[in-house]
Amino acid sequence: MKIVIFGSTGTTGVCAVEAAVKKGYEVRAFVRDPAKLPETLRSQVEVFKGDVLEADSVTNAVDGTDGVVIALGTNGSLEPTSDMSEGTKNIVDAMRAQHVHNVSACISAFLFYDDDKVPERFIPLTKDHKRMYEELKGSGLNWIAVFSPHISDDPSREIIVEINPEKSPGRAISKHDLGQFLVDSLSNPKYHKAVIGLCNVPKQ
């Protein structure tokens, strides 16, 4: 299986790249700055330099792949943005044009909340995550929307997965387990066209 991972140099993206390499997948790592991809991974993947806001480079990146992982982020910025949803639209358009059907995406668990319950400082980002979700939901693709809670640096451990839950099953997910799930879920039809609630089993 050959997959392209958008956001390959972010916290979750790097873990998704690692997980895909371990599975023996061919991996195309879509990056703006190749230097930000860990050196240990650079020799194991096809590094594709591009900008998710440029439709042509996204189309070229999707060409010849069997699946797509979207792990776009904002480098910690909470400022209003439309970059993630515009990037997702370009990815969806490219997938349709290239007849690639399976896509998983990391989206905020704040989408489980009523609008008035989202902490004020996260409202602008959550609005763009909502636009991302709408792009996926209307795409006609085999989309998997992982509504992620807090992404921790903890080591991998047992996870809880819920399909189309009413609320998040927990408060945090290890970046390693999130990256792994984004990759694993692509080839599992039970997760297609569904919202996924994901968290680590609480420590005893």
Domains belonging to the chain, first-starting first, are 2-200 (3.40.50.720)
Backbone angles phi, psi at 44, to 5 degrees: -105, -5
In which residue are the tokens 């992404």 written?
151
Percent pLDDT > 70 in the chain is 100
For residue 20, what are its two tokens? Answer: 């895909």
Cβ proximity of 71 and 10 under 8 Å: yes
Q: How confident is the model at residue 14 (pLDDT cuts 50, 70, 90)?
A: very high
pLDDT in tens, 108-146: 999 999 999 999 999 999 999 999 999 999 999 999 999
- Residues forming a β-bridge with 173: 151
pLDDT at 148 over 90: yes
Mean pLDDT of 182-194: 98
CB atoms within 10 A of CB 114: 6
- 192: pLDDT confidence band, cut at 50, 70 and 90? very high
| Predicted local distance difference test score (pLDDT) of residue 203 | 84
pTM of the model: 0.97
| Separation CA 17–CA 44 (nearest Å) | 10
Give the model's pLDDT for residue 184: 98
Closest CA to 182 of 5, 48, 1, 38: 5
pLDDT value of position 197: 98
The C-alpha atoms of residue 27 and residue 2 are separated, in whole angstroms, by 6
Q: How far apart are CA 97 and CA 129, in angstroms?
A: 23
**pLDDT higher than 90, residue 75:** no
Mean per-residue pLDDT, 58-81 = 95
